[in-house]
Amino acid sequence: MTTNEPTRGLDSLKARSLIETIWKRRTHRVSRGSDVAAGPMSYKSPHPRAPLTPLEEALLIAATGCTGLSMPDRPFYDPTSGAPIMAKPNVNMVGRTAGSPDNAQGTSFFLINDSGTYFLRKLPPVDGDPMDPTLLLQQAEMAKVKLLDRRIDVPDGKRDFPAYLDSNRFLSNLPGTTLLFPVVDLSHQYINGMMYLLTQPAGARPAILDDRNFYRPASRNGSTTASSTRPSRCRSGPSGPCAPRSRPTC
């Protein structure tokens, strides 16, 4: 598809009511050209398989991308005490259509279609109309990093668990289909969440238990450090047959 071809679908999408879209939204698992054996609910597509056009695919890629700066509309200081709130309301300041707690934006997307397997780069926001067909196509090409010249799949056609679950093996990643596969790195969000917990006011701060140290609570005075709570082996000594062996402090 070239940018000179009709864009009726894009024009129709931009004119569609948000409320109507939400109300009529349904999840369809049967792609064009697919057949489903389901007894009285069986379905046989009358159409050949047809992949997305480049513009349709570019619109999906744009739906994972950057939308501009976000506003950290939360206080940085406790209004009662003036003490700083140490965890960051937003880990990143750049907004994105793909949601993320604390705007950590740990989600990366891979795109799979008939032409290959791609990693999608996170691009900065663009100037101009983000729904302009030419701009959508340009941004999509800049975002795509080709990893394989084929559709990635399990070897030897063994489309079964754990790669595919239940009936998904008959519906997912078929010829003609396009997949957007999210991979999430939780590290930043997990660290930010821990900061929120550890900087709560005195009396409201949760106790942190060490699951490798008999689930004893952590303590600032060092009374539950690894050297003081780790089980000791017994050996003969001046205080009796089972005196604890001294251990260096870690």
The residue count for the chain:
250
Cα distances (Å, whole numbers) of residue 5 to 15, 25, 197: 19, 28, 54
pLDDT at 88: 67
Q: Say how far apart CA 119 and CA 192 lie, in whole Å.
A: 26
- Phi, psi for 229 (deg, rounded to 5): -120, -10
- Phi, psi for 226 (deg, rounded to 5): -60, -35
> pLDDT of 170-202, one tens digit each?
888 888 999 999 998 888 888 888 888 887 877
Residue/partner pairs of 204-213 with CB below 8 Å, 24 or more apart: none
For the chain, domain boundaries: 52-194
> pLDDT of 135-156, one tens digit each?
999 999 999 999 999 999 888 8
Q: How many CB atoms lie within 10 A of CB 55?
A: 20
Strand blocks (E) in the chain: 35-36, 43-44, 66-69, 94-96, 107-113, 116-120, 144-148, 179-184, 209-210, 216-217, 234-237, 240-244
Q: Say how far apart CA 165 and CA 161 lie, in whole Å.
A: 5
pTM above 0.75, yes or no: no
Largest CA-CA distance found in the chain, in angstroms, rounded: 93
> pLDDT of 16-67, one tens digit each?
898 998 898 887 778 888 888 889 989 888 999 889 999 999 999 998 888 8
